[in-house]
Amino acid sequence: MSNVFEGYERQYCELSANLAKKCTAAGALNGEQKKQKVSEVKAGIDEAEALIRKMDLEARSLQPNIKGVLLAKLREYKSDLNNLKSEVKKIVSGNLNPSARDELLESGMADAMTASADQRTRLMVSTERLNKTSDRVKDSRRTMLETEELGVSILQDLHSQRQSLLHAHNTLHGVDDNIGKSKKILTNMSRRMNKNKWVIGGIVLVLVIAIIVILYFKFSK
């Protein structure tokens, strides 16, 4: 339920009950006092119509399920206001005999009491709905806070996992670097070993040649 609509509704109910009382009072008056009271009632009716227009605009701006309920209320209020207008027309006509005036007075009193009772009932229902809406808002807020806490916890876990993945990535990158360095060292060692083999082979070959030459000169003498 809209708080704005509730505010307009309270104003209308209070104004409607007040207009019913004034209408009843006007039926018992004569002359200028009657005209003044009727003018007050007409001004109140204009104010009531303005409130109904505001409630109508507010109701049509809400969700469909809420809008239907509020528009049904507005139809009742419009009907009450039309009845009040009819009573004013009867009073303004000024062709009432004493018995008709007494009947109108009794009818007005009954309408005023009915309007007052309706007002209290509507206010009680509106208050109850407002309390239920407040409870739903509190439940929604609590659920939102719980969801927010859960979201923060999930984000913290994801951040921790991201840090772990980054650390693992850096470790693997360091291992790759070490493997690359070890491969270079092994390659250099292999080259040196091959080079040493050729050097040793050359030395052995020179020694063999030297021995052959020495033996040759020795036996040739």
Residue 50 is predicted with a pLDDT of 93
In angstroms, what CA-CA distances link 119 with 74, 91, 102, 154? 14, 24, 25, 51
Residue 9 is predicted with a pLDDT of 87
Residue 97 is predicted with a pLDDT of 47
Distance CA 8, CA 70 (A): 12
- Which helix (H) or strand (E) segment is 5 a member of? helix 3-27
Torsion of the alpha carbons at 70, 75, 79 and 80, rounded to the nearest 10:
0
Distance CA 20, CA 23 (A): 5
Residue 96 is predicted with a pLDDT of 46
Assess contact for 54 and 9: CB atoms under 8 A: no
Q: How many helices (H) and strands (E) in the chain? A: 4, 0
Assess contact for 22 and 37: CB atoms under 8 A: yes
Residue 103 is predicted with a pLDDT of 56
DSSP 8-63: HHHHHHHHHHHHHHHHHHHHT--HHHHHHHHHHHHHHHHHHHHHHHHHHHHHHTS-
Torsion of the alpha carbons at 147, 148, 151 and 153, rounded to the nearest 10:
-110
| Class of residue 20 by CB neighbours under 10 A (exposed 0-12, middle 13-18, buried 19+) | buried
In angstroms, what CA-CA distances link 20 with 16, 51, 82, 213? 6, 16, 12, 147
The sign of the torsion formed by the CA atoms of 152, 156, 161, 166 equals positive
- pLDDT means per 10 residues, the chain with 221 residues, are 82 88 81 84 90 90 85 88 86 59 54 53 60 66 81 86 86 80 86 88 90 84 63
Assess contact for 29 and 108: CB atoms under 8 A: no
* Domains of the chain by start residue, with CATH: 1-93 (1.20.58.400)
Distance CA 55, CA 15 (A): 14
